[in-house]
A = this chain, B = another copy of it.
Amino acid sequence: MTGNGARDTNGQARTMAQIAELAGVAESTVSRALAGSRRVSEETRSRILSLVEASGYRINSRARSLRTQKTRTIEVVIPISEANRQHFSDPFFSQITASIADALAEHGYDLLLSRACPWTDVSGADALTSNRADGVIIIGQGRDPEPLVRYAETHKNVIVWGVDIPGRNYAVVGGDNFLGGKLVGEHLLSQGRNRVVFFGDIRYVDIGLRHRGCMSALTSAGASQDQTLTLSMPFDSASAYQATQSLFRSGAWHDAVFAASDLLAIAAMQALADLKIRVPEDVAVVGYDDIAMAAYMTPALTTVRQDTTAGGRALVENLLTIIDGGARRDIHLPTELIVRRSCSAK
């Protein structure tokens, strides 16, 4: 018990009862004073406040949340499986997590970070049902929509970063992935490129849309199906590097790579450089996300911006509205192509 950090401040009040005793009032009065209720006189309040100050007392948030049935905590779930090799340190995840953290802090909420899907995990780690969080933000829908739908059936305070899919019963925030892909396709065409390879696992709903958007732009401009190639791969740099190597080892027939994320695009650029294939002269490379580092690549990476700052804020504000009993609502974020050197004309 002595190991409990919370008990280690030297002396003074640890509980409201002790503050009440010191102030010569009842616990309820202390509680009201701290809560800013007008039912306690200014004089009593300031006396209590200075005692609180002096003793370094902090309200016990466990006890409070047991009583109030609110935790003022939101769980952020990054659904990561071994299979897809996606990692929390993918800058996209950490950027959006950072902006979620900021937005939550502004609203006085804590952030519980979780890497396991609550609907997968049988060990009872679900923060919502175990009363550790008031709501859940889920980053990404994954490949199989079914479990998430089932989860959302019994859990109302949920919001998802992702796309609109049929049968969905939860609110989503996200950009227009089809449009993103389409913008890339059109830009590639405008640069005289139509022999495009797509990198990414199109079974993920959002990735699939990016893929279809790009392909539709290409084919509607007359590019034939067999000029394009889709290479399915997980989300890690190594996969993209190897895929690029084996595809381009014997020279470049394709003239552009469109990767499902900047991380993949960067690895592809490196592989091309190692093969002495020039970017963008021989092969153009386009990514997705516009992570902070994309602008600092050599050549700088052309990519589709997902505004993580706006995204994080939108997720948080939307979720808090839902928690407060407001209506569930989707938010569509602008989708914008950021043209940089990695994809200029031949």
Does A167 sit at the interface, judged by CB under 8 A?
no
Set B56, B126, B241, B266: member contacting A58, Cβ < 8 A: B126
Q: How far is the CA of A300 from the CA of B65 in the complex (A)?
A: 50
Contact between chains at A270 and B298 (CB < 8 Å): yes
| A143 → chain B closest CB, angstroms | 21
Q: Which of A150-158, A204-212, A215-223, A245-253 contacts B (4 or more CB under 8 A)?
A: A150-158
Size bracket of the A interface: 35 or more
Does A4 sit at the interface, judged by CB under 8 A?
yes
Contact between chains at A8 and B65 (CB < 8 Å): no
Show 26 residue pairs from A and B whose CB-CB distance is below 8 angstroms, ordered by the A residue: A3-B324, A8-B155, A9-B154, A56-B129, A58-B130, A61-B130, A61-B131, A62-B65, A62-B131, A87-B292, A88-B98, A89-B97, A89-B291, A97-B113, A101-B114, A110-B112, A110-B114, A110-B127, A241-B296, A266-B296, A267-B296, A269-B296, A270-B296, A273-B298, A293-B293, A297-B298
Q: Which residues of A contact B (CB under 8 A)?
A: 1-6, 8-10, 56, 58-63, 65-66, 69, 71, 73, 76, 87-89, 91, 93-95, 97-98, 101-102, 105, 110-116, 124, 126-132, 134-136, 154-158, 237, 241, 263, 266-267, 269-270, 273, 291-293, 295-298, 300, 322-325
